[in-house]
């Protein structure tokens, strides 16, 4: 694995940890949707994650990241559809899919 790919994996890992940190004091979806700064911060982290996954796959399409197309699509959705982001969707991704991504990135970083 190249240093460039490791850097992107590290960026993903850092963004995942940041999302966890941002949500540490967030008890529920209502609090999340009521805090504009929190929503914008999490959108930014998802944008970083999607861009890093995209760059990784351009360098090595054989790297296994589940749902990589969906991850990139979320990034595009946030960047290009900024005025129509559905926060229920982001909340669902955070709770269902982020833990899977976190495990996969940790495995790749520890190879």
Global pTM reads 0.92
pLDDT for res 53: 97
Here the contacts of 77-80 (C-beta below 8 Å, separation 24 or greater) are: 78/43, 78/46, 78/47, 78/50, 79/47
Spatial distance between the Cα atoms of 12 and 107, rounded to a whole number of angstroms: 13
Q: Give, for all 111 residues of the chain, the pLDDT tens digit.
A: 899 999 999 999 999 999 999 999 888 999 999 999 999 999 999 999 999 999 999 999 999 999 999 999 999 999 997 677 899 999 999 999 999 999 999 999 997
pLDDT computed for residue 83 by the predictor: 77
């Amino acid at each position: 694995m190249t240093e460039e790919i490791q850097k992107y994996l590290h960026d993903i890992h850092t963004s995942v940890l940041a999302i966890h940190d941002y949500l540490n004091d967030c008890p529920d979806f209502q609090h999340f949707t009521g805090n504009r700064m929190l929503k914008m911060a999490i959108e930014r982290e998802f944008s970083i994650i999607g861009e890093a996954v995209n760059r990784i796959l351009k360098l090595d399409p054989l790297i296994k990241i589940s749902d990589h197309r969906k991850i990139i699509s979320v990034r595009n959705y946030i960047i290009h559809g900024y005025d129509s982001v559905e926060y229920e969707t982001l909340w669902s991704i955070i709770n269902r899919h982020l833990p899977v991504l976190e495990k996969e990135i940790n495995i790749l970083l520890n190879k």
